[in-house]
Amino acid sequence: MKKPSQHKFIRLTAAALSLSLLAAALALVLNGTASPLRDGGETASRPFLRLFSPLSASLEGVKDWTRGMETLREETAALEEENTRLETAARQGELAQGENENLRSLLGWAQDRQDLDLLPAQVLSREKDTWDRTLTLDQGKKAGVRAGQYVVEAHGALVGLVSTVGRSWCEVTLLTSPDFQLAGLGTVSGTLGTLEGDLAHMVQGELLFTPFSPEFPMSLGEGVVSLAHGEEPREILVGTVTSLAEDPGRLTAAGSVTPTADLDRLSQVYVITGVREEEG
Amino acid sequence: MIRPLLAVTFAALVSRCLWFPALPTLLCLLGLRFGGETGAKCGLFGGILGVILGFSPWYLPLFTLLGGISGTVFHNVSPFWGNCLRAIPILAVTCLLLALGHWLTGEDLAPCLTLAGRDFLRTVLTLPVVYPLCPKRRSP
């Protein structure tokens, strides 16, 4: 009885390995688009996400209390109230171009970023895995979301990049995720480099900024923005250089960047769905 | 077989919606209670559900191994120790395997072990909650 059972176990393990390789290959081929199975899974889990959201919210509340974030919670509540009021105005059909400018100023973002098309999105769920940092949003292909688009928070700081898109949902890879990678620019030194996540920095809530060359050394405390390429939005704030480290292999000082966006307390974000050409 | 699969489905949804690692704990308990073959089947089913719900595809073989090894190696260990106590070392080894896998992809060992430790603590904390979910084996 024992041997046939062990053979079956080996066969099951081999089947599991094959299926996982197939799933990984499918993810590579689809390149940002969710498979129909995954789309169905997200849609099927949506009612359970809503069902469990009060409990999830309670667990988050306990965590916040232990961290002593009372004042920040009040600030978030005020912003959410403001957000609710603005959404009500939109539903009543009052949101015109003038209202849009008013919204941007209310949100505190620089008025000269009207070159960006912003799509508001609610955070449905946070990371489902300890080894990664992702968010799931309630906007997808139907609303014009595409893989690779930037996601920012209310003050314009980068939150992450859209990685997988379904019909009415999308997954965002956060800045501190090991899968995150983006070209960056130091605002003071002019250093060009790569912003990327790794597990060591993810544990600290930071990401790594590695300069392309040693000609422009970074300075501590300087801001880092995204480097536009093609139709990507220009100069989206990423964070601040909080430490520098010598990398013996590269002779350049790589820096740890602390994101400006508070990635642990996001409830509403904005997907940059388009960039308009500036007039003049 | 239906009851374990239903329990796995519920645990997968809880893991997805609440970020509460109920699924690995349940698979371990199912293997201990029902044996290696059932544990591996439930692990395979749980892995497939996980991929559909957005987990990494590499959890598929990991969950299958978790369910199968729990049942094959530990199923016949003295019941004196109870399922919960037997589950703890199995879950620890699973988390270590995860850390090893990430280390082999080029990550530093220290953060891998830190995250594996957090994972292990969370899965152990789910034991009291998941234990009632695990269906009892019906006597023949």
The type of residue at A100 is: N
Number of domains chain B contains: 1
In this structure, is residue B52 part of a structural domain?
yes
- Is residue A28 domain-resident? no
Is position A60 within any domain? yes
pLDDT for position A206: 92
DSSP states along A45-80: HHHHHHHHHHHHHHHHHHHHHHHT-HHHHHHHHHHH
Rounded distance, CA A113 to CA A103, Å? 12
Q: Which of B15, B18, B104 to mutate to test the interface with A (most CBs of A within 10 A)?
A: B18
Question: Is residue A190 located within the same domain as residue A217?
Answer: yes
Q: Which residue has the higher pLDDT, A27 or B6?
A: B6
Tell me the nearest-neighbour CA distance from B74 into chain A, angstroms.
14
Same domain, residue pair A47 and A150: yes
Q: Which domain holds residue B114?
A: 2-133
Q: What is the pLDDT averaged over residues B62-69? A: 88
Is residue A5 assigned to a domain? no
* CATH classification at residue A188: 2.40.10.350
Residue A44 has a pLDDT of 79
Residues A207 and A222 reside in one and the same domain = yes
What is the domain count for chain A?
A: 2
Which residue is closest to B101 within chain A, CA to CA?
Answer: A131
Which residue of A3, A6, A9, A58 is the best one to mutate when testing the B interface, meaning the one whose CB has the most B CBs within 10 A? A9
A98 with A187, same domain: the answer is no
CA–CA separation, A225 vs B75, rounded Å? Answer: 55
Q: Confirm whether A20 is domain-assigned.
A: no
Q: What is the DSSP string of B7-51?
A: HHHHHHHHHHHH---HHHHHHHHHHHHH-HHHHHHHHHHHHHHHH
Statement to judge: residues A216 and A268 lie in one domain = no
Same domain, A105 and A200: no
Lowest-confidence pick of A204-213, A247-256, B83-92, B118-127? A247-256
CATH of the domain at A135: 2.40.10.340
Minimum Cα–Cα distance from A201: chain B residue: B111
- Share above pLDDT 70 across residues of chain B, in percent, rounded to a whole number: 91
Structure-token pair, residue B40: 């591996």
Which of A55, A59, A128 lies at the smallest CB-CB distance from B54? A128
pLDDT confidence of residue A250: 53
Å from A46 to nearest chain B CA?
A: 9
What is residue A249's predicted lDDT score, i.e. its pLDDT?
A: 58
Check whether residue A123 and residue A76 sit in a common domain: yes
A122 located within any domain? yes
Indicate if A167 and A188 belong to the same structural domain: no
| Predicted pLDDT at A103 | 56
Which pLDDT score is estimated for B33?
84
Q: Domain for residue B82, yes or no?
A: yes
Partners of B44 on chain A (C-beta within 8 Å) are 12, 15-16, 19
Q: Among A13, A55, A199, select the one facing B107 at the smallest CB separation.
A: A199
Is A86 inside any structural domain? yes
Token pair, residue A166, equals 């379904």
Contact yes or no for B61 and A13 at CB 8 A:
yes
Residue B139 falls inside a structural domain: no
Nearest to B58 among A20, A55, A128 (CB): A20
Q: Do residue A79 and residue A47 come from a single domain?
A: yes
Minimal CA separation from B40 to chain A, in Å:
6
- Reported as a single tens digit per residue, the pLDDT across B95-111 is 998 899 889 988 889 99
pLDDT tens for each residue of chain A, 280 residues long: 456 666 777 788 888 888 888 888 887 787 777 878 788 888 878 777 777 777 777 766 676 666 666 677 778 888 888 887 777 666 656 546 655 654 554 456 645 566 788 899 999 887 767 788 889 999 999 999 999 999 998 888 999 999 999 999 999 999 999 999 999 988 888 888 999 998 889 988 999 998 887 766 778 888 899 987 777 778 889 999 988 876 555 555 788 999 999 888 888 899 999 887 655 4
- ipTM of this complex prediction, to 2 decimal places: 0.78
DSSP state at residue A222: -
CB pair distance less than 8 Å for A16 and B60 = yes
Select from B10, B16, B105 the residue whose CB has the most chain A CBs within 10 Å, as the one to mutate to test that interface: B16
Tell me, yes or no, whether A61 and A135 share the same domain: yes
Provide the β-strand partners of residue A123. Answer: A137
Q: Report yes or no on A9 lying in a domain.
A: no
Give me chain B's average pLDDT, please.
84
Q: What is the pTM of this model?
A: 0.75
Residue A194 is part of which domain span? 181-259
> Does residue A211 share a domain with residue A89?
no
CB B31 within 8 A of CB B43: yes
Identify which of B19, B60, B108 has the shortest CB distance to residue A199. B108
- Tell whether B116 is covered by a domain: yes
At residue A170, the pLDDT reads 93
Q: Are residues A49 and A157 in the same domain?
A: yes
- A114 vs A121: CA distance, rounded Å: 18
Contact residues, chain B, for A128 at CB < 8 Å:
15-16, 19, 53-55
Q: Are the C-beta atoms of A195 and A183 separated by less than 8 Å?
A: yes
Domain annotation covers residue B140: no
Residue B97 lies in a domain: yes
Q: How far is A178 from chain B (nearest CA, A)?
A: 9
- Asked whether residue B83 is domain-assigned, the answer is yes
> Per residue in B19-54, pLDDT tens?
678 888 899 888 888 888 888 899 999 999 988 888
Which chain B residue shows the shortest CA-CA distance from A4?
B37
Q: Is B118's pLDDT higher than 60?
A: yes
